[in-house]
Structure 1
């Protein structure tokens, strides 16, 4: 906690520590730069004819050491305008140009280069620190996954690879499970709510659902988790809106189907009436035809009986005629015989 509170200071200190070697080389370069310009200032300003009797200039540029001190004053921008540049420029403007050129090289380039080196080292240390933190987080994640996997295996009594509601809620009877949950900072009194949050609706928990869900619930909510929850809520709201629109559409379709069914019922009633009328007419025609057939059969039977009676009567008449003819023939024969 202390290290995380002073993390920026620690990164800065590490950056400075790693910048010591480049800064040492920059210091050597600065000394060389000061010496080169001090030699040039001594020759171009201190030993010029117009400045030989000038005590002010000789005090500042009379020899190399004095010139190096003056160049260092220019490099630090310590009252360089009124203390160095303007007195020299009053007699020779070239001296002011020389000083401005040194300021451009020694200040705007050299000091910014030193700042860039320090910033680059601090940036590299920050990247290294982030990489170290990422490595630590990855190790922590692996350890948590290992613990959660062991917890899942401990809860899975039947070894099916999936947790049921009974196995999940009944795991609290196991002391080892309670200890592991307490160590992870999870409240065992809210397991029903935990199951509701972890379950995706199928009534079973796989090891992936269990481990990822518990890791998201552990500790404080992160921005990524909140964004995921908001996205899930937006998707749910969108799904509800789509379902509402589909329900309205289906309601309109049902109303249309009801209208069509009523029309079909009316049409079916008319068809049924026509069919019933046709049926009754056909039934009447069949009955009429049956009656006609019955009377025709009866008439044919009567006619047949009459024909048979007439034939019998004719046969009887022929027999009587034959008997009469035989009697008459016998009488004639008797008369002839007599």
Structure 2
């Protein structure tokens, strides 16, 4: 409980600064809005734009996201978006540069057709609608990459040259498929990194996993407890050996065993019955393979036991003294 409070306090402290900045900005915008509305009657300035700043009040909703309890997916989404700001900026810069280069090439190829005095005026107007100016071409290139690229391609293929189809096919395969998939993969990697490195979300996910595991163990206990008295005896416990379904259930809960009697003795506290609390506690300790801490404890106990047994052997003390004296003298001492 103390660890959870410490983690939550640390996360709240790191968010306090920028959330206070959001509240301060909203307060300043509201003050400017009130001042401008008070002087709007005698001022020729149109304040419609400044009224739109009231939308900034919605930023206060971010506070609800930061303190929302029981909404881990929502918090994860907000944190991933916040962590992807730099990635979003550089992705936008890269895609914009690629669109600019491609737009310049297409615009230069289409300019000769637009400047030619011959040709159908209606067709030229259609080409001009897509590639007549730099901004039109730039918007068309974004449309080709992210939206319906057929009409923008057809207007050049049908009116200028069929070789434009080769250009657009390469453009769609290289930029529309390869580059966008790489960008999407980077965003997914950033999201997974944020989800795994966030302490608060990791702590909540750990609590959720423990609760789900305990619920499954409790259901297994109720299935084994045929009498319904809230305790499992050895006779009921033998169902695990005879029932393949229960054995598979135990393996799904990472409770592998080879000796039924040893497992029962481990879970039992000595009264010949296993209660629900004992079953859940024992399942948590037996879950999975041996951990480094378990191995270290076993090594420590074996060393202590070895020393006690060694002291009980006859002549162990004399041998120990001889060994220590030989070590003190050393090979080069006289």
Q: Work out whether the TM-score is over 0.5.
A: no
Judging by fraction of residues, say which structure has more helix. Answer: 1
User: Normalising to structure 2: TM-score of the pair?
Assistant: 0.39
User: Normalising to structure 1: TM-score of the pair?
Assistant: 0.38
User: Over alpha carbons, which structure has the higher Rg?
Assistant: 1
